[in-house]
Amino acid sequence: MKNKTETKENQMWGGRFSRGPTAIMEEINASIDIDKRLWREDIAGSKAHVAMLEATGIISHDDKTAIDQGLNQIAKEIEGGTFEFSKSLEDIHMNIEARLKDIIGAPAGRLHTARSRNDQVATDFRLWVRRACDDTQAALKTLMHALATAATENADTVMPGFTHLQTAQPVTFGHHLLAYVEMFARDASRFSDARKRMNECPLGAAALAGTAFPIDRQATASALGFDRPTANSLDSVSSRDFALEALGAASITATHLSRLAEELVMWTSPHFGFVTLSDSFSTGSSIMPQKRNPDAAELVRAKAGRIIGSLNNLLIVMKGLPLAYAKDMQEDKATTFEGFDALALALAAMAGMIGDLKPNKEAMKDAAKLGYSTATDIADWLVRVLDMPFRDAHHVTGAVVALAEKKSVTLDQLALKDMQSIEPRITNDIFSILTVDASAASRTSYGGTAPDNVKQEADRWLAALK
């Protein structure tokens, strides 16, 4: 005697199967625990499809109306938490269709005319990834605004710039923050580009070969906000490069987040002491009461691994699949959902930390004075004032630095006569360029760290991000 669930499941599969799957098969085959997140997209796709079926005369107005009303009720049930998802019905598509039949009876059977779960899931998934790209761009905009705001407030806050993590030249904190604005702006553009390429509708490709019904694919594409229908039915149901591209953009964004998170970890340590994060984004130690750990930054740094792993996972799933659809592709959603969930949380946490951090301007300035950071300013002065070839100026400056190091003084503390022992034409004017403030202010070239440049760029970004 078949139970009701098995009977319903067999009806969904059709007359080819006399028995339902074993428990193991049901467990490995079902995706409802994952793809139930697609319910909004699935209902939207079904509504667009049934409207097209009525418009082309494939189904009646009465059936279309009944299906619409049933789908509306299902949406309310899912939103209200009363909808019962069944693993025996495998996925979101069959769960919704089975419930639709419970509600409206026979007309529900007309919904699946001229489509397959293959083009249905491809459409649902594109809709979800498209929305994830939009949401990510909005989150990036929030983070960029926080960075640009902090840059405006710190346009003249001097800090050491590093190469090889060694003190290089003085820069401003605002300039450093704007570097990340540029990175995240490129990330946003990658999501925008990916969205444009994925904005084609697979619905109507059916299982793999299209359909004999006189459907209007342009109508369904337009109803769902796509630019056009996909042009090849095989490609429509078998391609997941839209998700791969989106995860690729997510992975690059994650590397930028991780780099900024790493700097926050360093800057908040007592060895740097450049910034502090409040209790909102820090935790304590269970044994060391003095500790303030930048756990939020560390976790953002770790999320990069999960996001990049999601991309690798989907690449490996897709790399050996012949056309068209294969069940392997059921694994596409879990890894994509996980990647974008991690990215959304990381972006929100980073925006929060940037808005929360407090710079220690004195510590930054003191650090900028270390490591003979104004040495390049001496070389530039020798070129500009003494008309010395830069390579010669570089050699003279190296000797000046070596002498200061030998005497254990900073460059601005080195006596003029000591400098003149290396290059007699050096005058007292050289001391005017040896402060870290003067060094940063002198970098007025386009894209340079001069405070006026930074203020102008930060204002430009804030205006653009409104």
Residues with active-site annotation? 164, 285
CA distances from 456 to 149, 158, 160, 172, 452 (A): 12, 17, 21, 13, 6
Which residues make beta-bridge pairs with 229? 201
Angle between helix axes 92-104 and 39-55 (nearest 10 degrees) is 60
Structure tokens at 133: 């790209």
Angle between helix axes 332-356 and 295-318 (nearest 10 degrees) is 160
Structure tokens at 244: 């791969």
Specify whether the CB–CB gap between 237 and 264 falls below 8 A.
no
Report angle CA 351, 459, 380 to the nearest 5 degrees. Answer: 105
Nearest to 300 by CA among 243, 268, 347, 335: 347
Which residues make beta-bridge pairs with 201? 229
Helix (H, G, I), strand (E, B) or coil at 308: helix
User: How far is residue 89's CA from residue 113's CA, in Å, rounded to a whole number?
Assistant: 19
Nearest to 8 by CA among 75, 74, 91, 101: 101
DSSP state for residue 21 in the 8-state scheme: P
CA distances from 439 to 154, 199, 444, 447 (A): 16, 49, 10, 15
Helix (H) or strand (E) holding 75: helix 61-80
Distance between alpha carbon 207 and the CA centroid of its chain, in Å? 32
Structure tokens at 400: 């000046």
Nearest to 299 by CA among 263, 267, 272, 261: 261
Specify whether the CB–CB gap between 369 and 410 falls below 8 A.
yes
Structure tokens at 63: 């059936």
Specify whether the CB–CB gap between 92 and 83 falls below 8 A.
no
Which residues make beta-bridge pairs with 171? 159
DSSP state for residue 412 in the 8-state scheme: G
Residues sharing a CB contact under 8 Å with residue 73, sequence separation 6 or more, in sequence order: 103
Specify whether the CB–CB gap between 302 and 349 falls below 8 A.
no
